Protein backbone atom coordinates (compact mmCIF):
# COMPACT_ATOMS: atom_id res chain seq x y z
CA UNK A 1 0.00 0.00 0.00
CA UNK A 2 1.24 3.47 -0.84
CA UNK A 3 2.55 5.43 2.13
CA UNK A 4 2.85 9.21 2.50
CA UNK A 5 6.46 10.37 2.38
CA UNK A 6 5.89 13.19 4.81
CA UNK A 7 3.44 14.17 7.49
CA UNK A 8 0.82 16.61 6.20
CA UNK A 9 0.89 19.63 8.51
CA UNK A 10 -2.25 20.73 10.36
CA UNK A 11 -2.31 23.92 8.26
CA UNK A 12 -1.95 22.04 4.97
CA UNK A 13 -4.61 19.48 5.78
CA UNK A 14 -6.97 22.10 7.10
CA UNK A 15 -6.46 24.46 4.19
CA UNK A 16 -7.21 21.62 1.76
CA UNK A 17 -10.39 20.79 3.67
CA UNK A 18 -11.38 24.47 3.73
CA UNK A 19 -12.60 24.02 0.14
CA UNK A 20 -14.99 21.18 0.96
CA UNK A 21 -18.44 22.56 0.53
CA UNK A 22 -21.90 21.16 0.72
CA UNK A 23 -24.14 21.82 -2.23
CA UNK A 24 -27.88 21.89 -2.12
CA UNK A 25 -29.69 19.06 -3.99
CA UNK A 26 -31.12 20.04 -7.37
CA UNK A 27 -34.85 20.45 -6.92
CA UNK A 28 -37.25 20.72 -9.83
CA UNK A 29 -41.01 21.15 -9.95
CA UNK A 30 -43.02 17.98 -10.50
CA UNK A 31 -45.06 18.20 -13.72
CA UNK A 32 -47.85 16.18 -12.12
CA UNK A 33 -48.37 17.71 -8.65
CA UNK A 34 -46.20 20.86 -8.97
CA UNK A 35 -44.34 20.21 -5.76
CA UNK A 36 -40.55 20.30 -5.55
CA UNK A 37 -38.87 16.98 -6.17
CA UNK A 38 -35.32 15.75 -6.71
CA UNK A 39 -34.23 15.95 -10.34
CA UNK A 40 -34.16 12.64 -12.30
CA UNK A 41 -36.08 10.82 -9.58
CA UNK A 42 -39.64 9.59 -9.17
CA UNK A 43 -41.74 12.21 -7.37
CA UNK A 44 -42.22 11.20 -3.74
CA UNK A 45 -45.49 13.13 -3.49
CA UNK A 46 -47.43 11.60 -6.38
CA UNK A 47 -45.22 8.69 -7.55
CA UNK A 48 -45.00 9.96 -11.14
CA UNK A 49 -41.97 10.05 -13.40
CA UNK A 50 -41.91 11.24 -17.04
CA UNK A 51 -45.71 11.60 -17.00
CA UNK A 52 -46.26 8.01 -15.97
CA UNK A 53 -47.32 6.60 -12.63
CA UNK A 54 -44.44 4.54 -11.27
CA UNK A 55 -45.45 4.06 -7.65
CA UNK A 56 -49.01 3.50 -6.45
CA UNK A 57 -49.07 6.08 -3.65
CA UNK A 58 -52.36 4.80 -2.16
CA UNK A 59 -50.84 1.36 -1.74
CA UNK A 60 -47.57 2.86 -0.43
CA UNK A 61 -49.44 4.74 2.31
CA UNK A 62 -51.19 1.58 3.44
CA UNK A 63 -47.94 -0.37 3.56
CA UNK A 64 -46.10 2.37 5.48
Binding site for Zn ion (CB under 5 A): 30, 32-33, 43, 45-46
Give the Cα separation of 59 and 52 in Å (integer).
Answer: 16
Q: How far is the CB of 2 from Zn ion (least distance, A)?
A: 48
Nearer Cβ to Zn ion (21/40): 40
Nearer Cβ to Zn ion (30/55): 30
Q: Are 20 and 33 in contact (CB under 8 A)?
A: no
Give the Cα separation of 47 and 30 in Å (integer).
Answer: 10
Nearer Cβ to Zn ion (15/53): 53
Amino acid sequence: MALPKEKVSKARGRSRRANWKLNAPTLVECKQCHQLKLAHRVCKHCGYYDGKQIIDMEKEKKEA
